[in-house]
Structure 1
Amino acid sequence: MKKIGITLLTAFFGGAVAIGGYKLIENNNTEKMSIEDKQKVYFTNNPVSVSSAGDVDFVQAAAAVTPAVVHIQTTYGGSSRQQRGGGGVDPFEDMFRDFFGGPRGNTQRAPAMASGSGVIVSDDGYIVTNNHVVEDASKIEVILPDNRSFQAKVIGRDPNTDLALLKVNATKLPVVKLGNSDNVQVGEWVLAVGYPLTLNTTVTAGIVSAKGRAIGILGQPEQEDYYGNRNQPRVNSAIESFIQTDAAINRGNSGGALVNTRGELVGINAAIASQTGYYAGYGFAIPVNLAKKIMDDFIKYGAVRRGFVGVTFQELNSSIAKELGVSEISGLYVNTVVEGSGAAAAGIKKGDVITKVDGARIMSSSDLQERVARLRPGDKVQLSFNRDGKERTVSVTLKGEDDVKIAGNNNSSAEELYNQLGASFAPVSTAQKQRYKINSGVVVTEARDGGLFSNFGIEKGTIITSINNKPINKVDDIDNALSASSNNMIRINGISADGSRIMMSFPVAQ
């Protein structure tokens, strides 16, 4: 009996110390605490109990989450935004209109308001949302479900992940508990919570349809339609590893919560795939484990600190593997290795096939990118790769962007790059400009075997509207645009022969 009493007293004392420690931290240093530490303090004092994943009953999960999912209204000056998509006023619609297949415009408009959603992640006023919800806004208003309203300031924005962190001057706010997106399983029930189509708080239910989806909508200047080959090399810093769900998501849901049936946040709703711009069964959310890192970077450093492996690569499948002459049909084929990078120091070479990251099998580029995106310069990651039929594993120390030098950067002249394209061009006609609603472009009149255009599927009849983000109005513009190539990569925007938009990036020889 005496031993039992001592055990109970020890347990009680340990709990009191833990709570007291959290209280001390809360009182003395909350501003620099990570979001997860803030949540530990909050949920130590405010425990929640919701139904398990085994019960198809979302009442408790919805009740736990909805008080902390907010409506975000943004105001834009007439000169700071352009009207696109036929007058839509929602940033979700504005950013992804072309992805949905809608028309485009380019006319100035008077000061306008737009609408999105956000999730309170700490009781002292931190709110996570999408970058595209608040980008370029001159005023941001956050409205809680209980009708309280606050002006918000932007702590940080990251276009590469489409995440933003806001702060309102308030305390004792309701909070959504952070979950673990690594534990999300295809087929499990999830809820989407937000403010779609100008409606108030709305909860929809569905399942997780897929994980690690890359849909090609981040990191491009115009966010044009994505119809390109997903097996092209990934070259920009955009991180796409979306959780796909069939829970109903519409315009206005951007920045809202994707939660599991335990009421835990597993994703930030960001996009839909639709031909009409409305729900068609395909929604995409940013994994919360990635969002945690981005939010903490904003709080601690004021900006995202991103580590780089130091390679360019392309995804493998059976046809690409055959073209490259490699036996692996999955993984990432290394096209180039950056001089001075962690990959170079670890001995990774061009032609290696990266197969695992931290022991997890790589099936697509997003498997590597999303995991690395959670790390910072100086962190280490274990990469396994195949070379000459043998698998090797190395530890790669990530480096910051400023610490690496692109091998052979800008060594190729514009003339050399032009020849590598292996194509001939002619000016686009006035009729074609009117038909496709474009202001620039040249037509590919020939794509020769062995050239980059032929190798990457850019066919005769394709209209090239820009190269390296520079508009192409005539053939002479191509040399100037090619001179702007960086990291030994060329970026092509255009319209294929069947009228669909294309965006491609591919490496050039050094």
Structure 2
Amino acid sequence: MKRFSSLFLVSLLSGATTLGAYKLLFDNNGYFSKGNNPIVTLASDSNSRNVGLSAENVDFTEAAEKTIHTVVHVKNVSRKTVTNPMLEYFYGYKGGQTQEQVGTGSGVIISEDGYIVTNNHVIKDASEIEITLNNKQSYKAKLIGTDSKMDIALLKIDAGEKLPYTAFANSDSVKIGEWVLAVGNPYNLTSTVTAGIVSAKARNLDTSGIQSFIQTDAAVNPGNSGGALVNTRGELIGINTMISSMTGSYVGYSFAIPSNIARKIIEDIMEFGNVQRGILGVEGGELNATASKQLGIAETEGFYINGITKNSGAEKSGLEKGDIIIKLDNQNVATYADLSGYINTKRPNDKVQVTFIRDGKNKVLPVILSKNEFFSTEFKGMELENINANDKKKFNLTYGVKIKALTNENLRQYENELKGNIILSIDNEKAQDVETVSKLLNKKEESQSIRIEMINKNGQLLQIII
């Protein structure tokens, strides 16, 4: 009984001590009350913030559920004839064996009536294109149009019913660190969803076409090409296009064509039947510490203008060599990828407000974009222009630049043989168009010799070194 009384007394004193401490520290006038210490807040307070980095704080299920029904499996069937040169030589055998090749990828339904966007390389050289929806229904697809330079293709199926589709988001508004989902069919595994964050924007991989990718660490593998990159609301921010890997499989980063570029290309194909490209009309390169030091300027970000294209919007507006472009409309320009990515969302005759630095002062000029096809460039006394539709049809080409005129005295004697020829490559790099060639030639020293591969007016392949 005595022991019980002792325990009761200890418990009573402990309870009193606890109650007294609570009143002292947490009551209305206590030390940790909101009145005395406004910095300390409880997790339940309305102004508290979740700072965890875990994906558990983000709900991916709604975006995944919406997107998997709009991403399709694309099957590309191509046929080619394989000949046996030994049989042809010894026995005069002229026949060949037809081989069927099958490629697969992904696509995204972008309208309820069955328009589908995918990568051009997914359906390249296809004899037949088959689309399989998430509900296992299959349809033959019609190729509406392609843009090989930007690696976009537009397909159409007739499903006889309204289809679920993914809405476009503004890819310019995407933020680095934002959660994203990649949806596609890697290794023929349909309706595969992976999650990651936007690792970088306007990533330049030095490809001959698009130079402004969205980089993400969402797992993308062969078969994902043409699939959707969406935000957590299930809106399309990019078309998954490639991975950077030594093995051909995902190792940490993947790249997507921004939705603004893809949407502009699709709208052009649907409205005009081809892609309408506008150009600013400037040549040069992005700044960094090394380039700025060589140029003797303080700025280390922006696009440095080293030349202005004749008769372009840039020339007409008053832009000059030495100007540093830092903004197009409301889009900041720190790199060449920033500049090219934004211009690729525009058409000829669109007006762009160009903010630039000249003599240490910020200036703004409106520039009306010009049509890419009308422009030429000059190198070592050769004036080059883009090939037109007739040239493409006549020589069965999809790219190249034509020698329009010769001013080089050393080449004048060969004017009849060279004028009108179409250049296919410069030092083994494809001469896609005047813009690409200008970029290639800007890397070359004037005194440096270059190897040019071309075809003449009779379609014969030639190589020259100048």
Query: Match of 2:278, SS?
Result: coil
Query: Where do 1:23-422 residues align within 5 Å?
Result: 55-79=57-81, 110-170=99-159, 171-217=161-207, 219=208, 238-406=209-377, 409=383, 411=406, 413=408
Q: Which moved more, 1:384-393 or 1:109-118?
A: 384-393
CA–CA separation in structure 2 for the residues paired with 1:254 and 1:282: 14
Q: Which residue of 2 aligns with 1:420?
A: none
CA pair 337-251 structure 1, distance change in 2 beyond 3 A: same
Per-residue CA distance 1:138-157 (angstroms, 9 max, x = gap) = 11111111111111111111
CA–CA separation in structure 2 for the residues paired with 1:258 and 1:339: 39
Q: Which residue of 1 aligns with 2:91?
A: none
Q: Note the C-alpha offset of 1:469.
A: 5.3
Per-residue CA distance 1:165-186 (angstroms, 9 max, x = gap) = 1111223111112222122111
Per-residue CA distance 1:273-315 (angstroms, 9 max, x = gap) = 0111100111001111111111111111111111111111211
CA–CA separation in structure 2 for the residues paired with 1:120 and 1:329: 42
Stretches of structure 2 that go unaligned for 5 or more consecutive residues are 1-54, 83-96, 384-404, 412-426, 429-439, 456-460
Which is bigger in relative contact order (C-alpha 8 A, separation at least 6)?
1
Per-residue CA distance 1:191-223 (angstroms, 9 max, x = gap) = 100000121221111111111111123x2xxxx
Q: Which residue of 2 aligns with 1:39?
A: none
* TM-score computed with the length of structure 2 as normaliser: 0.68
Query: Match of 1:251, SS?
Result: coil
Indicate if the aligned counterparts of 1:71 and 1:144 stay in contact, CA closer than 8 A. yes
Q: Note the C-alpha offset of 1:239.
A: 2.7
Q: Note the C-alpha offset of 1:128.
A: 0.4
Query: Match of 2:255, SS?
Result: strand
CA–CA separation in structure 1 for the residues paired with 2:66 and 2:204: 30
CA–CA separation in structure 2 for the residues paired with 1:168 and 1:293: 21
Query: Match of 1:289, SS?
Result: helix
Indicate if the aligned counterparts of 2:113 and 2:158 stay in contact, CA closer than 8 A. yes
CA–CA separation in structure 2 for the residues paired with 1:411 and 1:315: 30
CA–CA separation in structure 2 for the residues paired with 1:350 and 1:339: 12
How many aligned positions are there? 342
Per-residue CA distance 1:328-365 (angstroms, 9 max, x = gap) = 21111112211110000011122222121114321111
Query: Match of 1:290, SS?
Result: helix
* TM-score computed with the length of structure 1 as normaliser: 0.62
CA pair 257-479 structure 1, distance change in 2 beyond 3 A: closer
Indicate if the aligned counterparts of 2:453 and 2:463 stay in contact, CA closer than 8 A. no
Q: Which residue of 2 aligns with 1:480?
A: 464
CA–CA separation in structure 2 for the residues paired with 1:178 and 1:356: 24
CA–CA separation in structure 2 for the residues paired with 1:481 and 1:254: 38
Q: Note the C-alpha offset of 1:134.
A: 1.1
CA–CA separation in structure 2 for the residues paired with 1:129 and 1:142: 11
CA pair 457-303 structure 1, distance change in 2 beyond 3 A: closer
Query: Match of 2:226, SS?
Result: coil
CA pair 139-266 structure 1, distance change in 2 beyond 3 A: same
Q: Note the C-alpha offset of 1:481.
A: 5.0
State the AA in 2 paired with 1:273: S
CA–CA separation in structure 1 for the residues paired with 2:106 and 2:366: 40
CA–CA separation in structure 1 for the residues paired with 2:98 and 2:453: 25
CA–CA separation in structure 1 for the residues paired with 2:465 and 2:140: 42
